[in-house]
Amino acid sequence: MKKLLFLFFFIGSVTLVQAQWTTAFHISNRPFAAVNKQLGEKWLPEFRVDVDNSFEYTGLELVVNYLFIQNDTYQFYGGLGARVNYFSGIVIPAGLNIYPFENKNFGFQMEVAAIIGDVDILRGSTGIRYRFNKD
């Protein structure tokens, strides 16, 4: 777990320059908060932390998503990542970010993710997303 946190902070510090950071809150039976930074035109690494439970059952995820289709209004992505601590294993997400308003900073997201490891589950989530520094 310490290695995953170190990797997240390293990636965050290296990519801080010219950043377009995004925060999100995913609502599901295991809700989680997320922070990501778009790298180039297609890559979207994201760090996620389970919320609404005790620290003992808090899972940490690091996923790297690839934007297959995107424009100002929506992004369709798929990715691969890892999860540690609770429900440890491989994470395979696929989702859609939608920015329907004139201000393209605020939007919604839907995602389905397979988690394969300690317990094999299919997690669905929906929620909100906010982009900082959107031109």
Using one digit for the tens of pLDDT, what is the confidence trace for 74-130? 999 999 999 998 889 999 999 999 999 988 899 999 999 999 998 899 999 999 999
Residues 6+ apart with CB under 8 A from 51: 31, 32, 33, 58
State both tokens at 44. Answer: 């979207």
Distances (CA, A) of 84 to 19, 30, 46, 127, 135: 26, 14, 14, 22, 35
- pLDDT tens digits for range 3-43: 544 545 555 554 444 557 899 999 988 899 999 998 988 99
Residues 6+ apart with CB under 8 A from 50: 30, 31, 32, 57, 58, 59, 60, 86
Number of separate domains in the chain = 1
Helix (H/G/I), strand (E/B), else coil: 3: helix
pLDDT higher than 70, residue 1: no
pLDDT of residue 56: 82
Q: What's the CATH code of the domain at 54?
A: 2.40.160.20
Whether 93 is covered by a domain: the verdict is: yes
pTM of the entire predicted model? 0.80
Whether 58 is covered by a domain: the verdict is: yes
